Amino acid sequence: MNQRTIRQPVEVVGIGLHKGEPIKLRLEPLGIDAGIVFYREDLALSIPLSPSSVIDTQMATVIGSKKGYISTIEHFLSAVYAYGIDNMRVIVNGNEMPIMDGSASSFCLLLDEAGIAEQEASKQVIRIKKMVEVVDGKKFVRLEPSNHVTFDFEIDFEHPAIGQQSQSYSFGTRPFVEEIARARTFGFARDIQYLQSINLALGASLNNAIGLDDEKVLNPEGLRFENEFARHKILDAMGDMMVMGHNVLGAYSSFAGSHKLNHELTVKLLADTANYEMVTLEKVKSREFAKSFA
């Protein structure tokens, strides 16, 4: 299997979660080994995709520098991960990605519209060689060696509508679209009210998130999956792993993980080459892994 980019440029306009303003997103093909490059059109600023570019993980994954940043990249990157895109320019005209409906579905549709182009160079992946984990009390995130790409996530919220939930996902583009991509982000009404009082989450609504009060889901249509909250956590984790710029060959698992812990995991993994190796899919010799991108 070779590296991938998109076949043609595509663009869309959506609302930014925090500023509540329209954000134009444009995707463009890039050549072999260019990687995923974010570009702030309003600042003429390129931001390479790398854990070293991450500057904040409190409410979302944010990349950038003192010159400028782009927030809430994880939903988009989960779709990039699922479609196996290696090289692409991601252009926005503001400091955040459009939130769309709070899931990754719209980004999947955008990539479908752009089409996938195979390039004349072998695709490289990060193969996990030894277990790496980050622990914070009962919370943990972990990557382990495996010939099968899996994501397992468990959460436990003291809320009647959430409680204990788990989801297991065996990697594949189509299963992602069907099982994970539609799972929306979620937030509590009391937190949204506070954030909006300090001019954040101005674009948040029941059209782009699952809203919860102290007892129930506020969205009139209800949930898309019984365990939509756990599925969205897998979506987030895939996006956060894609910050490394490559697909991962290994098993990810977590209990109550977060953007912060995911970022610390990628930094810890890449800090020691005993933890991983960059390999081509030809070296992996896994037809199953290659076919999962079909």
How confident is the model over 163-179, as pLDDT tens digits? 999 999 999 999 999 99
159 annotated active-site: no
Kindly state the helix (H) or strand (E) to which residue 165 belongs, with its residue range: strand 163-170
So what's the pLDDT on residue 211? 95
pLDDT band at residue 281 using 50, 70 and 90 as cut-offs: confident
Q: Cα(241)–Cα(244) distance, rounded to whole angstroms? A: 6
**Separation of CA 269 from chain center:** 18
So what's the pLDDT on residue 269? 98
Give the global pTM. Answer: 0.96
Question: Where does the chain show beta strands of DSSP type E?
Answer: 2-6, 10-15, 22-29, 36-40, 45-48, 54-56, 62-65, 68-70, 88-92, 116-122, 124-128, 132-136, 139-144, 150-157, 163-170, 186-188, 210-212, 248-249, 251-255, 276-280
What's the whole-number average pLDDT of the chain?
95
- Helix, strand, or coil (residue 12): strand
So what's the pLDDT on residue 198? 85
Question: Where does 189-264 show beta strands of DSSP type E?
Answer: 210-212, 248-249, 251-255
Among the options 18, 75, 246, 259, which is catalytic? 259
For the chain, list the domains and their CATH numbers.
2-291 (3.30.1700.10)
Q: Cα(91)–Cα(31) distance, rounded to whole angstroms? A: 16
